[in-house]
Amino acid sequence: MSHNAEEYDAIAERLFAPIYPVIAAAVVERTGKRCGRMLDVGCGGGHLALAVLREGAFDHVTLLDENADALKMAEDRIRGELTSENRTSTMLSSCCSDICAADLAERIGTTFDLIVSRGSMPFWDDQMAAFKNLYALLAPGGVAYVGGGMGSRALREQIAAQMAEIRRQNGGSGPRMFDMSASKALETSAYEALLEHLGADCDVVANDEEGRWFVFGKPAE
């Protein structure tokens, strides 16, 4: 198993756990999507997908990540939840792939009512290709909620303090917040221009409280 996948999952479980219900609640409130087919892009250990699943009644959840070890952890975590809650009507599938892949839509072979992604956007090598793929994977009337944030300023500060304490106890070694100077993400205007070109309905949430999120939909037929 990938050491990085194990490390990230441990951080998500130990430190980030409080953020996912907050973000999931914002997802369903802003998109209005509580059922149908959901895709979690760059799912990691599946924490956001699981939190959104708990908010609604989705009949199919698909997980996408280029790290096979992370994908396996996400599958196990969500399958365990579905079993424990006796939600046998909800189907689970996965795809090990880069969101930027030119043949992604063909490989997945279906579209989604809701697409979510938290924290993976800064790592995408081709931001324009990724957003084109996201739009292509939306069903008519579907909505994507893509970006990054820690749920609230208070949660971000709490987690930063916890990370600092872990490093103090370990002689400077331990988790840190992602260095946004290393992000491959573009200026907001670049995404807005692309989404307008594609014909998407787009809103941007960008503030110190929630982070930066792109909420965009494909018009219903």
User: In the prediction, which pLDDT does 118 show?
Assistant: 97
CA angle 182, 184, 187 (to 5 degrees): 110
Q: What is the pTM of this model?
A: 0.94
C-alpha 193, offset from chain centre: 22
Could you tell me how many helices (H) and strands (E) the chain has, helices first? 8, 7
Question: pLDDT of 16-37, one tens digit each?
Answer: 999 999 999 999 999 999 999 9
Lowest mean pLDDT segment, chosen from 40-44, 77-81, 115-119: 77-81
The two structure tokens encoding residue 1: 């198993």
pLDDT of 2 strictly over 70:
no
Question: pLDDT of 151-186, one tens digit each?
Answer: 999 999 999 999 999 999 999 988 888 888 889 999
Question: pLDDT of 183-203, one tens digit each?
Answer: 999 999 999 999 999 999 999
Please answer whether residues 122 and 182 qualify as being in contact, where contact means their C-beta atoms are separated by less than 8 angstroms. Answer: yes
Please answer whether residues 13 and 45 qualify as being in contact, where contact means their C-beta atoms are separated by less than 8 angstroms. Answer: yes
C-alpha–C-alpha distance, residues 60 and 107, integer Å: 17
C-alpha–C-alpha distance, residues 191 and 146, integer Å: 11
User: In the prediction, which pLDDT does 17 show?
Assistant: 95
C-alpha–C-alpha distance, residues 77 and 119, integer Å: 19
User: In the prediction, which pLDDT does 1 show?
Assistant: 40
Question: pLDDT of 87-140, one tens digit each?
Answer: 878 999 999 999 999 999 999 999 999 999 999 999 999 999 999 999 999 999
The two structure tokens encoding residue 19: 């953020």
